[in-house]
Amino acid sequence: MNITRRAFVKSAASAAAISMSGLVSGKAFADSAIQFHRAQCRFCGTGCTVLAGVKGGRVVSVKGDADSPINFGRLCMKGYQLAHIMDGKDRLTKPLVRQGDGSFKTVSWEQALDLVAEKFAKLIESEGPDSVAWYGSGQNTTQEAFAANKLFKGIIGTANVEGNPRLCMASAVGGYLNTFGADEPAGGYDDFEKADCYFIIGSNIAENHPMLFRRVIDRKSAYPERIKVIVADPRYTPSARYADLHLKFKPGYDMHLLNSMAQVIVEEGMVDEEHLGYCSFRKGLKTAGEFTDLAAFKLFLADYAPEKVADQVGVPAADIRKAARWYGQQGRTALSLWCMGINQRTKGVQLNCQIHNLHLLTGKIGKPGSDSLSLTGQPNACGGTREQGGLTHLLPGHRAVANAKHRQQIAGIWGLPEDRLPKKPTGPAINMFMRLAEKKIKAIWINTTNPGQSLPEVGKYRKAMQEAFTVVSDVYPGRTTELASVILPSAMWVEKEGIMGQTDRRSQFISKAVEPPADAKSDFWQIREVSSRIAKKLGVKTDFRVLDPENGNVKTTRSVYGLGFKTEKEAWDEYRLCTRGTDVDLWGATYEKLKAHSGGVQWPCPSTDFKNRGSAKRFISKAYAEEHFANTRTAYKTGYVTLYDQHMQDKGLDGPVNYYGAHPFHAGSKGKAIIRVMAAGLSFEMSDELYPYVLNTGRVIEHWHTGTMTMRVRMLKEMNPGAYVELSPEDAGKLKVDNGDMLKIVSRRGEIVLPAWVTKRAQPGMVFVPWFDENKLINLLTISDPKSWSGAGEPDYKVCAVKLSKA
């Protein structure tokens, strides 16, 4: 029996590998011993669709979903370890409360929930709603994030709602708002198979979004001459190794590089005149600068001619020209991809706008194969935070806290009095932790994230978390739970049900496949239970409306203490209603559709028609798509997406191309995109005589963020067991350091000693340290000074000055 089973498993393994190789599709092996449940990988923002195989109440097999239009059945090494992240021996399974002597005592859920509610309610009553706060995550499900938002902004009435996406994607939001007046990209993953030039900047996509990089490799393998891959990165990463052209610029000089590429595009006539009709030019960010024109932009760019900036940037002028030509030639398509190397920067918003500038100038947007696609770090930073409104200034459906009409709309849907909602934002994430340190915030609930390890200049804020009343919901003990007053044990991944939204405006369903261990509970349940207790203590009732999921009509109303919705599905239906009619329209993303379609739904999706899975392109009308493209739909294995913007069609918005964003940053644009004219600037802290090296931090392929989960997977831990410092052979020679020697790294804020890895990945003058290792807190050295933040409140994790010595 076992022998047969082994042969069967080998055949299944072979079929899976063969189907991925692009040969005959592997014969589908129906494995009756294992029941597969569809979910989404809970690691990176790619959002690969996964099938979790369950036998005997445990996940025993994991495979990519071949029906998925995201990963086509593939997964990277982290994805394959998903099941093991649930099995760590030290899973948190009981609520814990810190005692006077610093130890933790196990308590019942009733006791833990009562304690949290009582502490929060007392503070709210005695010191006001802004004395408490929520710090969530791009790894919460959308329902969890929506529930927390309703609790804090609706029931409690504070705008102290922030999350870790502030630290990774806020600059990308700023870039989209300044350029298009609407957040999130115009295109999506379908563009990978139509792109001729991939311009990858500030992203080690090969390690951090491996399955998207596979789509690049596939395309390049099929058309090796035609397809060009350009990687702009100060490090010689695996992505750079694969590229046709590596622009190894000096850390901090990417604004110069991007303006230089724009200069070549304009000077050499690669501008798309027709598309410029849909654009305007404006000096600087937001609305302070005046509108200008192409002629003035051309004059401005003259100082950035490649021959003038090459030495400064550290890239030969000929390479800058080559990159601009490969990207800009008319008749070819271009897809830009970037991530934290651009966002986690003092000039993060400007850099984002500069990338959009190149697309707008060349008209390489709104067409199959062309897009300006910001890669998301986390699996639900887009869905749970950007779209749902999980930051201090936002409300669900791309609405603003400061907008009275938006508050009225959301209060109406939430069934709460309008005047309970805060009227203005408080402050971005680091500001919130600063207020915690100043004891203006006295209680904080940290959920699905590990700020005790991940905040910049973390030493400052660890003390603040320890001194406040800090509630931490997590799955494993770590550098934040050790600071907590109360620890709530959470369910994870397929131990709970939820929806997550990824990089390309896509939402996917995660099925619950197994039970969480012992007393661990879903975060949704935790928030719901705390909400009803706090609401009762504050005497706040919610008029919850049970909706008809098809037409949104109210079926019944119940007046309750708490959130009102009891299940994840009810929460999702209320959230769908919040998005209805907005640019992030998810009204058509019914539970039924999300469960049925592998790869989910892409908003805007106003239609509840079962086959309609939303819009692959934004900002272009149906008429424009019909005139320019052979097809106006892309068919998937089940259903289809349109190559036009269903929100535009639904709202009757004018024009073949309409950058309709109504955001205040976009005021005066008259539906046109804005090419931002911006002088190149540097990072807040560049290297100098005292601190002559630049420290860059980031992720590695084996580990996810702070390693809470992946360091519990033996295979991943052994592949990459601890932090190290990458430095160039040239610098190693100067410092007389060999591989494995200990190196002391000192910044103006802290120091650390790490083993050296001498590698050509690093360029002279720069070192790189990953941040997954909880025993080596590299964030003791990084910067949290508000002056280092991008215009969107995001700190600079990528460039800070350090000195090095052999330890």
Partner 1 sequence: MAIAGALVIPVNRDDEKNLVVKLNLLPGVEVQKSGLRGIAVVLEAEDTETIKDISKQIEQWREVIGFELAYLNWEELSKGND
Is residue 41 a contact residue for ligand SF4 (CB under 6 A)? yes
41 is catalytic: no
Among ligand SF4, partner 1, none, what binds residue 806 when CB lies within 5 to 8 Å by partner kind? Answer: none
Among positions 57-86, residues that touch ligand SF4 (CB under 6 A) are: 71, 75-76, 78-79
Cα–Cα separations (whole angstroms), residue 298 to 259, 287, 309, 389: 11, 21, 16, 38
Q: How many CA atoms lie within 13 A of 568 on its CB side?
A: 21
DSSP 779: G
Asked if 297 and 679 count as a contact pair (C-beta separation under 8 A), the reply is no
Stretch that binds partner 1, among 211-219, 226-234, 248-256, 731-739 (CB under 8 A): 211-219
Is residue 214 a contact residue for partner 1 (CB under 8 A)? yes
Is residue 807 a contact residue for partner 1 (CB under 8 A)? no
CB of 730 to partner 1, least distance (A): 23
Quick one: how far is CA 120 from the chain centroid? 29
In angstroms, the CA 503 to CA 191 distance is 13
Stretch 157-196: interaction string toward ligand SF4, x if CB under 6 A: ----------------------------------------
Is residue 241 a contact residue for partner 1 (CB under 8 A)? yes
Among ligand SF4, partner 1, none, what binds residue 47 when CB lies within 5 to 8 Å by partner kind? Answer: ligand SF4
Of 27, 35, 55, 311, the one binding partner 1 (CB under 8 A) is 55
| Interhelix angle 142-149/568-579, nearest 10 degrees | 70
Q: Which is catalytic among the residues 168, 382, 500, 711? A: 168
Polymer length of the chain: 807
Nearer to partner 1, 80 or 644 (CB): 80
- Residue 490 in tokens: 């959470």
Is residue 46 a contact residue for ligand SF4 (CB under 6 A)? yes
Asked if 504 and 189 count as a contact pair (C-beta separation under 8 A), the reply is yes
CB of 198 to partner 1, least distance (A): 15
Is residue 210 a contact residue for partner 1 (CB under 8 A)? yes
Is residue 38 a contact residue for partner 1 (CB under 8 A)? no
CB of 47 to ligand SF4, least distance (A): 6
Residues 6+ away with beta carbon under 8 Å from 743 = 725, 727, 735, 737, 753, 754, 755, 756, 804, 805, 806, 807
Asked if 173 and 342 count as a contact pair (C-beta separation under 8 A), the reply is no
Among partner 1, ligand SF4, none, what binds residue 46 when CB lies within 5 to 8 Å by partner kind? Answer: ligand SF4
CB of 558 to partner 1, least distance (A): 46
Give me the amino acid identity at 735: L
439 is catalytic: no
Is residue 60 a contact residue for partner 1 (CB under 8 A)? yes
The neighbour count for residue 276, using CB atoms within 10 Å, is 19
In angstroms, the CA 340 to CA 375 distance is 9
Stretch that binds ligand SF4, among 18-26, 37-45, 396-404, 448-456 (CB under 6 A): 37-45
Nearer to ligand SF4, 79 or 489 (CB): 79
Among positions 205-264, residues that touch ligand SF4 (CB under 6 A) are: 209-211
Pairing label, strands 197-201, 334-338: parallel
Stretch 738-767: interaction string toward partner 1, x if CB under 8 A: ------------------------------
Nearer to partner 1, 18 or 546 (CB): 18
Q: Which is catalytic among the residues 48, 340, 353, 434? A: 340
Among partner 1, ligand SF4, none, what binds residue 44 when CB lies within 5 to 8 Å by partner kind? Answer: ligand SF4
- Residue 569 in tokens: 């599905």
The secondary structure of 154-194 as a DSSP string is: III----EEEGGGGTTHHHHHHHHHHHSSSS-SS-GGGGGG
Is residue 222 a contact residue for partner 1 (CB under 8 A)? yes
- Residue 112 in tokens: 């833990």
Q: Which residue has the tokens 């707008």?
A: 360
Q: Shortest CA distance to 531 belongs to which of 81, 151, 158?
A: 151
Among positions 679-718, residues that touch partner 1 (CB under 8 A) are: 714-715, 718
Of 38, 42, 63, 545, the one binding partner 1 (CB under 8 A) is 63
Q: Which is catalytic among the residues 378, 409, 526, 646? A: 378
760 is catalytic: no
- Residue 613 in tokens: 């899975």
| Interhelix angle 306-313/254-267, nearest 10 degrees | 160
CB of 87 to partner 1, least distance (A): 11
Among partner 1, ligand SF4, none, what binds residue 221 when CB lies within 5 to 8 Å by partner kind? Answer: partner 1
Q: How many residues bind partner 1 (CB under 8 A)?
A: 47
Residue 473: its H or E element: strand 469-474
As a three-state string, the secondary structure of 318-376 is HHHHHHHHHHHCCCCCEEEEECHHHHCCCCHHHHHHHHHHHHHHHCCCCECCEEEEECC
- Strand locations in 71-213, DSSP E? 96-98, 104-106, 132-136, 161-163, 197-201
In angstroms, the CA 776 to CA 744 distance is 12
Is residue 44 a contact residue for ligand SF4 (CB under 6 A)? yes
Stretch 12-31: interaction string toward partner 1, x if CB under 8 A: xxxxxxxxxxxx--------
76 is catalytic: no
CB of 30 to ligand SF4, least distance (A): 23
578 is catalytic: no
Q: Which residue has the tokens 């991530």?
A: 339
Asked if 211 and 74 count as a contact pair (C-beta separation under 8 A), the reply is yes
CB of 600 to ligand SF4, least distance (A): 13
In angstroms, the CA 346 to CA 174 distance is 12
CB of 24 to ligand SF4, least distance (A): 24
Asked if 781 and 749 count as a contact pair (C-beta separation under 8 A), the reply is yes
Stretch 652-681: interaction string toward partner 1, x if CB under 8 A: ------------------------------
255 is catalytic: no
Nearer to ligand SF4, 211 or 382 (CB): 211
Asked if 35 and 82 count as a contact pair (C-beta separation under 8 A), the reply is no
CB of 51 to partner 1, least distance (A): 10
Catalytic positions are 78, 168-169, 340, 377-378
Residues in touch with ligand SF4 (CB under 6 A): 41, 43-44, 46-48, 71, 75-76, 78-79, 209-211
Residue numbers at the binding site for partner 1 (CB under 8 A): 2-3, 5-7, 9-10, 12-23, 55, 60-64, 73-77, 80, 206, 210, 213-214, 217-218, 221-222, 224, 238, 241-242, 714-715, 718-719
